Structure formats: structure tokens, C-alpha cells
Structure 1
Amino acid sequence: MAAKGKQSQMAQWNRSGYFRSSGSRDVNPDLQAERQTASFSVERLTTILDGGADNTRTRRAVEAVIHSDPGFSRENQYFQSQNERYEAAVRKSVHLKEKMHQMGWTENRPEIKYCYRALGGDLAFNVHRVFKNSILALGTDEQIAKWIPPADKYHIIGTYAQTELGHGTFLRGLETTAVFDISTQEFTLNTPKISAMKWWPGDLGRSATHAVVFAQLYIKGKCYGLHAFILQIRSLCDHSPVPGVIVGDIGPKMNFEHIDNGYLMLQNINIPRENMLSRFSQVLPDGTYVKQGSDKINYLTMIVTRVQMLWTEVIPMLLRACTIAIRYSVVRRQSKLNPSDPEAKILDYQTQQQKLLPLLATAYAFHFMNAFVNEFYNKGYTEIKQGNFDSLPELHALTSGLKAIITDYCTAGAEVCLRACGGHGYSALSGLPFLYTKLVASCIYEGENTVLFLQTARLLGNAATKLQALVQSGAEQYEAWNKCTIQLVQAAKAHCHYIIVKNFIDTVEKLKNEAEIQKILKHLCDLFALHGIFSNTGDFLHAGYISGDQMDMVTASYLDLLAVIRNDAVPLADAFDFTDESLNSALGCYDGHIYQRLYEWAQKSPTNQQVSRAYARYLKPLFQSAPSKL
């Protein structure tokens, strides 16, 4: 019970980033009651999630700087048009660069990731980072020295032009060409037909001055496959497209209206030989092609992008959604469990627990998995940069599968959180539609998830047995593969889920000196593992891994855990330590005053502060023509 006393007296974290006592802010009593009965120290769990107390202090200091600066305000985000959101994102990105310089924060220090967390992703130039990553991964030391400094200072803005209108994940099918001319020492780039047009790259539609373009390399009529080239697409003087470049914005989307996804057509664009990124392959002046390492090296940029995307965009979105939905679910009261009692908190209903608490466990599982992936990636990336490509296949397979399963689960989870909040969840002011539609995009960019699961499946043995049998029966290899893809995807999902469960178990076992926290995380780990079985009962029974009686035990344990974790649901969500500004949700604020905030925010809508043109044009004539007796 000592932890409960600590919790009731523990300094909480306020919306502006400074410590305050729990009584210094008017908090909804229903929410405050949840915090007072925590079985563990929320502050201690937060430091564990951050990787140490020093990281927590740094993160909060960064958040305090960001949230105290009106230039980063997100107050009117939900009422902005596409153009207004784009302009605001560009303004914030430029302002952030200035702020980082002012504060002494650099790209290779942890402050940058805390800035992105604080701002909730409302920044431009996200693909500019991929542009830089491509050069850092695939460029020579000389190319890095030439292009990265101006890119760091925003003297140029870059994009990553790989996906085409007719092709995405099938890189060998990309149609853009780069033909080397020995006499001029130049490459000539073309998009030979409409399907070869680059389509979707972020920062391309309005912002980018340069691009890393992937094209099929031709030397003396022979194709040497896909390679990356740097070219200028807009003037640095007046931002007009350079001759031979046709570029623009692809139009409205489900979300990411602040990002200028674009199209790019190239008509005989000549670039010098040194503009081919040449760390692992190069064209010599006489046209000789020299290659080092794996044919899969072009996947390196996307591996980097996957890893960064998971920790900056995807996993934090699920953490946010869980925080919003759980806080709302202990403030919202609906119907009665006992006729003689007041209306019940909706989180007291087992059906609401079943919706949200496995998602909370999933959020923790993914957070801990992310730390493992970053460690694995950093080791492999270092080896690859040194010329050792042994880890590249496993790195590609692991990040492919994890990107697919994590984005799938997070997207489905955000939708569950939205629906669990009823009608109010549908309001943009809840913040949940924004999180959901942004997560939907993560399932399809950088490779549609089914394709990525199949990349992982090329490692798996059970599915391979069927594949081998089909080939031995006379089927062609490609035909056998296609007939096994459903089982292969299922196998890849199971494999990735197993890895996540195992890592969660390993993480919990390392917390032997944190008894209270280890206990609650053990409950979350068990719930995550059992939910995987509970949600895939047919597979476990069909494969003989579990009996009917054992399934009954799984179900009973699963339901028991819902009740146990329900008691700590709010403290577990609080431990993520999102500020109100970062959540930007009328339903998820720390104080729990959801109804007042919904009303206050609704008043800010421009539609409530101006006369409707529709009234003057259409409604007024109708009303004035009504019979006078009405």
C-alpha cells in the first residue's frame, strides 16, 4: 500500500511542462479517484518508459520550451483548410529549426525526437529527412559532405522520389530511366510514360528544390537495375520548375493535408556523373559499372525510414489514442450496473474493458519492442556502413514484418478507441479521427502491408514446406508461391507476434528491482499474450497447439486480467506522460473536464463567428416566401 500513499502525494506533470501538486489543478473527481488508487508509482514507470530519469527530465524540458512558444500552438488546427495547414506546418518547421539553433539542439541529439513528440507530427519536411537518410546511407563521403550541410540548414529542401503512378513496392518494375552518356559524363533521366511518373512523395508538391530519384540505370544499352540519383527540380531563385521538370501537388487526401504529396515528370533531365549516389555502386568515366555488396542495398533507405516511422509516428499514435479513450471512459457515465447506484463509468463495463485494455497492453508491448528494434537496427546499420552486409536480409525481413503488424494493430486500435468514445469520438475535437486517418496511411505507404508480410515470410519454415511440396508436384516456383501467400502472411503475422511477446517477457523479467511495476507490467504482458490466443482461437485449435479445455482456461484468465488491469488503467495511461498540447484532444485532457472543453472549442469554429452565405443565397428566399400566418 506504500505506493498508493506515494501516488496520492506525488507531484504530477502539468500541461505547460512544470511540476505541480495533484491539488493545484481542478481535476474531475472521477479521474482523480482513479489516480489515487494506483498500485505503483506513475512517475517511476514514466522514467522506465523514457529509458531513465535523465531522459524524462530532458523530454519535459524540451516540451516546456515548445509549449511555451506561441509559434507552435495547435489551437486552431481542426478548423484550418488544406492550404492553411500546409502553411502552418512549413512555418512551424522553419521556426523549429530556428529554435533548435537558439537552444543548441542538434539533429543527432535526443532533443529532436522530443520536439517531434511534443508537436504531434504537425510539421512539414518529413520526407526531407528521408532525402537526407538516403544520402547518408547510399552516398559517398564526398557526396555527404556536399549535400547534407545545405540540407541541414534548409538551404535546399529534398524529397525521396521512388514510388511511381504505376508501381510502388515492386522496385524492379519502376520505369523511370537514367541513361549514361560517356561523351558528356552525364545521366539523362526520363519518365517515359504516364505510369512512370513519380507519385506520392511528400514535400514534392510545393516545397522541394531537390530530389533523390530512383531510376533504372542504363549503360551502353544494358540495364543495371535500380539506382538513386540527386537532381534539382526547382530554382533556388524563384522556386519555378527547372526546364524539363513537371511537378505539382496530387490533391486532397484522408489526412496529411499539411504534407504536399506530389507528382514529378522528367523530360531529358541531364545531371553530372557524380550525382549518382555511389557508396555501394558507381559508374566510372569510361562507363565501367562497379558494384559492392548486396543487390538489396536499395532497401537500406526504406529500412531506416521504417524504424524512424515506428518511433516518431506510428507507436506514439496508439499511445495517444489509448490515453484519450481511457481517460474519457472513466469520466463518461452511461446507464446503471446496479439500479440503486448512479450511472456507471463506462470503463466499468466489461465490454469497454475488452475494447481498450488489450490495446493498452499492446501499446506497452510495442513501446518495448521499439527499443529492441532500434538497438538491432543501429548495430546492423553500423556493420553495413562498414561494408558488412550479413545482417541486411534479416534487418529487412524483421523491419518489414514489424512495420506491417504494428501499423495494422495501431490502425485497428485507433479505430476501436474512436468507436469506444461513442459519438464524441467521431468529433475531430476528440483528436481520434486525426490519429486514425494518419495511422491508416502508415499501412500503405513505404509498401502495402501484405507485401511486407510476404517479405518476412521468405524466412519461415512451415509455409515453406507447402511451397516445396507444390514445386515437387510440378508447379512453377512463382505459381507455388502465389498459391501459398495466404498461409505465408498468416505465418509472418504469427512470427512477428511471437517476437513481440518474447521481447515483452524479456523486458518484464529485467525489472526485478521494481516489484510493483514488474507486477503490473506482468499483467499487461499476460493480457497481450492471451489476447493473441483469444483473438485467434481457430488457428490454435486447428493446429493442435491448444485443447478445448485449455482454451476455456485462457478465456477465464483473460477475463480475470481485464478486471485487474482496469484498476490501474488511468495510471498506466498517465505514465505515457503526454501533455495536453501534444494530445490536442477535448476528451483526453489531464483534468477530465470533457464537456466544458468540447463546448469551448466548438465556439472557436469559424462557422460560429460568421454569417452563412448559404442562408443569404438559399434559405432566406425560402423563409421569406413562407405564408405570413406561419
Structure 2
Amino acid sequence: MLSRKELFKNTMRKSAHAWKRINELRLTEEEASILRFYIDQPAFMDLHWTMFIPAIKGQGTEEQQKKWLPLAYKMQIIGCYAQTELGHGSNIQGLETIATFDPKTDEFILHSPTLTSSKWWSGGLGKASTHALVYARLITDGQEWCACLDDHSPLPGITIGDIGMKFGNGAYNSMDNGVLRFDHVHIHRDQMLMRVSQVTREGKYLQQFGSQDGGLETQVIDYKTQQNRLFPLLASAYAYRFVGEWLKWLYTDVTKRLQANDFSTLPEAHACTAGLKSLTTTATADGIEECRKLCGGHDYLCSSGLPELFSVYIPACTYEGDNIVLLLQVARFLMKTISQLGSGIKPVGTTAYMGQVEHLRQCQCDVQRADDWLKPSVLLAAFQVKATRMSIACAQNLSKFSSQEVDSLRSCNKPYLESG
């Protein structure tokens, strides 16, 4: 139950103590690297060792490695990996941060031209890191390339901070995920890691990997895989809104009937409210989780609104009746309706279609083409057939149990039924 500031301080305290012990024991780099996996340390420390240092090893020249690696190994500098932007993650060629080379001064000019070009999510960037490995779009000699730069921070022209609370209390809230923006920040040319690609003193780029074709970037919402997951949820939201209005009408009707001592529609009202409560709250919980995943990494931020939605609506699956128990009450209502079909009592209201049980058990689908599934009457008939056949099958299975076994099943629901 610590505050986020206290969580961060406590994690830093444990990490500092661990590193103090490593130094006291005079462990080799190999021994220390093995021990790091067993230390409860901030996640940004992992990034320092698994992303910042390997990037210098893999992309830095021999001279750059001699300069930076000893400092990084001794934790005299702490590095973070600033690739992801507010508007771009794994699409490196879509990054908006710009590094323009000025041959007159032999410097790169780092700039964040848009809000979405802000470096975002980098672990350790918010508070702890002293250095950042920055991915930017390199502009030199009138052309654009994708390059990796090693940047000192803080410097004039840099805006830096923590992006805020994430989902939950502990976990990633002990990590200072940061935001970073540049306002025409000048850094020397030798700050570019040049083992794989170089910019000469004259501004020429060597070892090109490729450039953008200049076309418009596809928005995430335009991908079919995203739409196939999101649009059914959107359609369901409308359906639940409509059924909610109908449920208000049903409640008003039942209330009027009760005032006239007419209790005939009370069982149906109970079954409908119980079933819809369970259906809609479960769909809402699952839908929030699906929307969270559709948002990529940003879903984890409290500012996305999704963690708040999750915490507010998830309890609805258990309060005012556990959803599984409520569904069992709906099943009980349906089984009673099925049992009365042979006694001459005709079902009414939402189960009136079961009065045509023989027809529904024998009828075949008369859909001829795909467009037929757009007809409400066809969809309604299909649901009626399916519901009737499943209810009958359930009733037949229950008939195989002894009365004592059925009664024991019913007794499981008795406390909930007595509580209303």
C-alpha cells in the first residue's frame, strides 16, 4: 500500500544495497551479470544491461565502446533505450524525432516536431537515467535515414519527465517510464553510434539500410485485425443499450401488474434481469480487456482511462449476484418452461416462441445466400431454433439424474434465491 514515490524509493534502496554488496565482494563482470538475475532491482536496471549496453556493443565503434562501456559496467552512467514514441512503437521507419546533420558545426540537431514524436515509455528515462540511446530519423545531405544516436541528458532544449501511473499499485509503478522531447538540441557527430552506419564530416551517409517511400502511414484502427476485434464490441454496446430500454419497459409493466395483484410476468422479469445482468457485465469485463490489448502499450497507463474502467466495472461480475449463479436461475426458468409445454400451458413474453416447439425442432434453415443473414427475421428464427433445441437437450440430460441429485443442485442456489 505504499505510494508510488515510496515504491520507487524502496526499489532504488534495494538495488543500491545489492550493487554495494557486489562491489564489496569484488565480483567479476561475468559473476555480477549472473547475480543480477537474482536481484530484486528496478526494471530500468534490466534495460540498462539488456538494451543500452548491448546496443553500444553492437552498434558502437571500437573507440566508442572503449569510452562508454567501462562507465556503463561500473554504473557510473545509467542508460535507457529511447525508441518508442507516443505515436510510434515498433514501426521504426515511422518515427518522427528528427536528427538533422549540420556540416558547418559537425553536429546533429535533435528535434521533436510534433506531440506524437515525444519519446514515450522508456524505462528509467523519467528519473534515473543519465544517458539515453535515442532512435531518430536522420536528415543529411537533403535525404532521410533511420539512425541510432547516443545522447547526453539533460541538456538545454530537453523536456523530460515521468509519464504517470500505470495499472495496479506495485509492479510497473516502481518503474520511472519517461517522456522525452527535443527542441533543436545540438550534439556532436561522434555521439552517433557508427559501427554499422556512419555520417562523414561532409555529411555523407554510408551503409544505407533503406528509407521510407513517403506514403501515408496506416492508422492502427484501419487494420482489419483491429476492426474484427473492436467492431463486434461496438455493435454489442448498441444492442445492450437497446435491450436496456426494453428492460425499463418490462419493469414498468411488471410493477403495474403487481399493483393489480397480477404476478404472472414476475418469473420472466426475474429471469430476464438475472440473465442480462450476467451477460452484459461479463461482456463488459471481457470487452474492456480486449480494448486494453487493442491499444498496445498505452493501455497500461492510467491516463488511458482503461485501468479505471477495469477497476470500476469488473466488480459488477460478482456484486448484486454472482454471474454464474444468476445464469443458473435463468436455466431454472427455462427448464420450468420446457416442463410445462406438454401440460397445455403456453409460454408468454420472451419465451412465447417455445410454444411452437415441434416446428422449431423440425424446421430447416432456408438461407440461400449470404445476404439473407442480414434479415432480422432470419437471425431471430435461427436464435429461436437454437435456444429451443439447447433447452430441450438440457432438460433431457437433467431427466437422467435422480430427483435427489436434482434437488442437491437446486439447493446450491437456495441462499441466493432466498436473498432475492
TM-score by length of 1: 0.32
Q: Which has the higher contact order (CA 8 A, sep 6+)?
A: 1
Larger radius of gyration: 2
TM-score for both structures, normalised by structure 2? 0.48
